[in-house]
Structure 1
Amino acid sequence: MTAFSPPEPDFAAKRKQLREHALKQRQAVPAERRAALTERLTSHLEGLIETLAPRSLGFCWPYRAEPDLRAWVAAWLAADAGRLAALPVVSERHAPMVFRRWVPGVPMPLDRHGIPHPAEGEPVSPDVLLIPVNAFDARGYRIGYGGGYFDRTLAGMQTIAVGVGFEIGRVVDTHPQQYDRPMQWVVTEAGVMKPWA
């Protein structure tokens, strides 16, 4: 398992400030407006996923006013019986996450953060992974919640990482650290971005 050192103190403070600001802004957007932004976002995501043509897709249960992709993923699954969707499961605090198959209606207990996850199932390695971004920059680097879960997970996976978030989270610089992994694509309500990093 790769050891992840904490960020330098000055960058840690900057990243924490960016995270808190992004969360505050996003959570202040009315639910109806977020739903409209999510609809625009998924219209762009549709085109990218059609191009990438994965058979398996990882995504995240919406948390703290993130884009809610559940209905879109359910429709993506319904369009082709050969497709598979998966959600992340945190098994250990400082370990990579595993992904388990999700279908609408599957039992979903809450994890330690209060996020639903599939209770059972064999691990899945998604072809494409949709990763929430609180803040992101033009190089494809993101700021999550500070736990390093996605960076640890991506370090050991062969997948296409697609950041998914709202334009309100776009920043000039996320101050990425040594082990941060850039997204290969970022999708917002404004469109699909191929990072230049």
Structure 2
Amino acid sequence: MDKKALRKLAQMKRHELPPLLKAQFDENIRSQLMKVQEPYQKIGMYISINDEADTRRILQHLLDQGKQIAVPKCVVREGRNTLDFYWIEGLEDCIPSRFELLEPVAQPSRKAALSELELMIVPVVGFDWRKNRIGYGKGYYDSVLDTFPGLKVGLAYTMQRVADFEPEAFDVPLDMIITEQGSL
């Protein structure tokens, strides 16, 4: 199967996850991520939507711990999809935007340089055992992961694992993928 078909299959599986089971899986993922993030102070992370692994409780927990959190805003620069990150103090610093996302208000004084971030938590649509990630196919995360110097962690459910696939030249494997069953 090609990446497009694998993406569709992984999304379908994730969408079929019953809400109570999803909540349990999200708690398992949150618990594991709390151990991984411990040494990091400046964290970039996505705000989950729809049936993605939930990050909203994680985000609040990290802020309560005094961590600095930067969340992405989708932008197009020089004809290429990319992300700018902005420091937030809570979800109230974000507004709804395209793709059903909550994005930070783009205040220049709150813009985070990618080099400042120590840990990047990214959404995963599908993944293989080699930690290759399938995203939504727009290239936003690919544009930052290739130069991100810190730890790259994806959050997903085990059911989103797909057959090994040949990554494209711009695909960047993750350092770790955390699922409800553990990490790889």
* Length-normalised TM-score, structure 2: 0.89
Indicate if the aligned counterparts of 1:142 and 1:174 stay in contact, CA closer than 8 A.
no
SS of 2:46 mapped into structure 1: coil
Amino acid at match of 2:71: L
Q: In structure 2, what is the Cα distance between the partners aligned to 1:61 and 1:174?
A: 27
Shift in Å at residue 108 of structure 1?
A: 2.0
Amino acid at match of 1:192: S
SS of 1:149 mapped into structure 2: coil
Shift in Å at residue 157 of structure 1?
A: 2.5
Among candidates 88, 99, 102, match of residue 85 of structure 2: 99
Among candidates 104, 110, 132, match of residue 96 of structure 2: 110
Q: In structure 1, what is the Cα distance between the partners aligned to 2:3 and 2:91?
A: 37
The 1:78/1:107 distance shift into structure 2, 3 A limit, reads closer
- Which structure is higher in strand share? 2
Alignment of 1:176 with 2:167, yes or no, is: yes
Indicate if the aligned counterparts of 2:10 and 2:162 stay in contact, CA closer than 8 A.
no
Among candidates 71, 82, 96, match of residue 87 of structure 1: 71
SS of 2:168 mapped into structure 1: coil
In the TM superposition, 1:15-164 aligns within 5 A as 15-50=3-38, 53-80=39-66, 83-92=67-76, 94-121=80-107, 122-124=110-112, 125=114, 126-164=117-155
Q: In structure 1, what is the Cα distance between the partners aligned to 2:160 and 2:57?
A: 23
The total of aligned residue pairs comes to: 177
Same amino acid, percent of matched pairs: 26
The CA RMSD over aligned residues, in Å, is: 1.6
Unaligned runs of 5+ in 1: 1-12
Indicate if the aligned counterparts of 1:90 and 1:111 stay in contact, CA closer than 8 A.
no
Q: In structure 2, what is the Cα distance between the partners aligned to 1:111 and 1:143?
A: 22
Structure 2 counterpart of 1:186:
177
Amino acid at match of 1:87: V
Q: In structure 1, what is the Cα distance between the partners aligned to 2:105 and 2:37?
A: 27
SS of 1:40 mapped into structure 2: helix
Unaligned runs of 5+ in 2: none
Shift in Å at residue 45 of structure 1?
A: 1.1
Shift in Å at residue 172 of structure 1?
A: 2.7
Shift in Å at residue 105 of structure 1?
A: 4.2
* Length-normalised TM-score, structure 1: 0.84
Amino acid at match of 2:7: R
Bigger shift: 113-122 or 15-24?
113-122
Amino acid at match of 2:104: P
Shift in Å at residue 46 of structure 1?
A: 1.3
Q: In structure 1, what is the Cα distance between the partners aligned to 2:26 and 2:46?
A: 14
Indicate if the aligned counterparts of 2:96 and 2:102 stay in contact, CA closer than 8 A.
yes
